[in-house]
Amino acid sequence: MQGRLVTVFGGSGFIGRYLVKRLAEAGARVRVAVRRPEAANFLKPLGTVGQVVPWQANLRVDSSVAAAVAGADDVINLVGILYEAGAQRFGVVQARGPEVIAEAAKAAGVERLVHVSAIGADAQSESLYARSKAAGEAGIRKHFPAATILRPSVVFGAEDSFLNRFAFLARISPVLPLIAGGQTKFQPVYVGDVAAAIMAALQDPAAAGRTYELGGPGTYSFEELLRYILRETGRSALLVPLPEAVALFEAWFLEKLPKPLLTRDQVILLRRDNVPAPGMPGLAELGIRPTPLEAVAPAYLARHRRGGARAGISAA
């Protein structure tokens, strides 16, 4: 990767910070393409002077995407949203955005394109999130068939928005809802392993044109994950099964918050397990040994214990 120019769309996000660190360590020059480059300044010290450059780009503005990939050897797309807000709609950011990147990357002569999608991407899904992820993948394949697509299960790590969110909820509420009976299955994958998978996809010619599903070494139901969080944070919230109709009704209110705690689309997503499909290539095929949840999560969940360090803890 020495000296290569790599554009990372969404490089200031959760997965982005781990990837940018690895790219900088490997000697790449990194262009961190995001809407708010000032919010990416914290990444600059990961490289030498001028090695990591925050760059203004918005997937909703085609010309800014073309400018961000101009001269790049490799491109990675990490842009995604969990809920719609203002102009940030699933259709334009997750369905059309990847196609715009793929088209611009092809035109600019980019060598390698890696797109991070999500397990559950499905054109037939009842969830808009899942349908937009499938449309994004189709746009990538249409213009850049040799791209590598990575679909993680839920990603964990110190800054994650899954375990931290429920740990936060357990602090403010005596009751946690078991949506879909708490039986939806997850295979949480460590953020460092996702970053390693992207690095491997960039460098392994066999990864070109393939789609990988990334899961960690353990499978847990939603209820098991909530019980794990409660154990690690020393909290004792009651887990209450919530019929889907009630969950949808609650989500209708909660999705109106500026940073929604739950949306109706997320309730619909919980109808299906979030685990790699049997037979799909995954971390092993990229040469990565998955990190167990139990090896990493206790250290950061400890912040949510009574009397734990409170700085910076929010609904994530």
Ligand X SMILES: NC(=O)c1ccc[n+]([C@@H]2O[C@H](COP(=O)([O-])OP(=O)(O)OC[C@H]3O[C@@H](n4cnc5c(N)ncnc54)[C@H](OP(=O)(O)O)[C@@H]3O)[C@@H](O)[C@H]2O)c1
The residues that touch ligand X, with contacts defined as CB under 6 A, are 9-16, 34-36, 39, 57-60, 78-80, 88, 93, 116, 118, 152, 154-155, 162
CB of 237 to ligand X, least distance (A): 22
Distance, CA of 47 to CA of 51 (rounded, Å): 5
Say if strands 220-221 and 185-186 run parallel, antiparallel, or are unpaired: antiparallel
Q: Which residues contact 243 (CB under 8 A, 6 or more apart)?
A: none
CB of 280 to ligand X, least distance (A): 15
Pick between residue 17 and residue 249 the one whose CB is nearest to ligand X: 17
User: Rounded to 10 degrees, what is the CA torsion of 250, 255, 257, 260?
Assistant: 110
Pick between residue 1 and residue 57 the one whose CB is nearest to ligand X: 57
Say how many CA atoms lie within 13 Å of 161 toward its Cβ: 13
Distance, CA of 187 to CA of 207 (rounded, Å): 22
CB of 246 to ligand X, least distance (A): 25
Pick between residue 196 and residue 241 the one whose CB is nearest to ligand X: 196
Q: Which residue has the tokens 């980019």?
A: 110
Cα of 241 vs its chain's centroid, Å: 27
CB of 72 to ligand X, least distance (A): 15
Pick between residue 63 and residue 175 the one whose CB is nearest to ligand X: 63
CB of 103 to ligand X, least distance (A): 15
Residue nearest to ligand X (CB): 13
Please give the single-letter amino acid code of residue 143. H
Pick between residue 58 and residue 243 the one whose CB is nearest to ligand X: 58
Distance, CA of 168 to CA of 312 (rounded, Å): 11
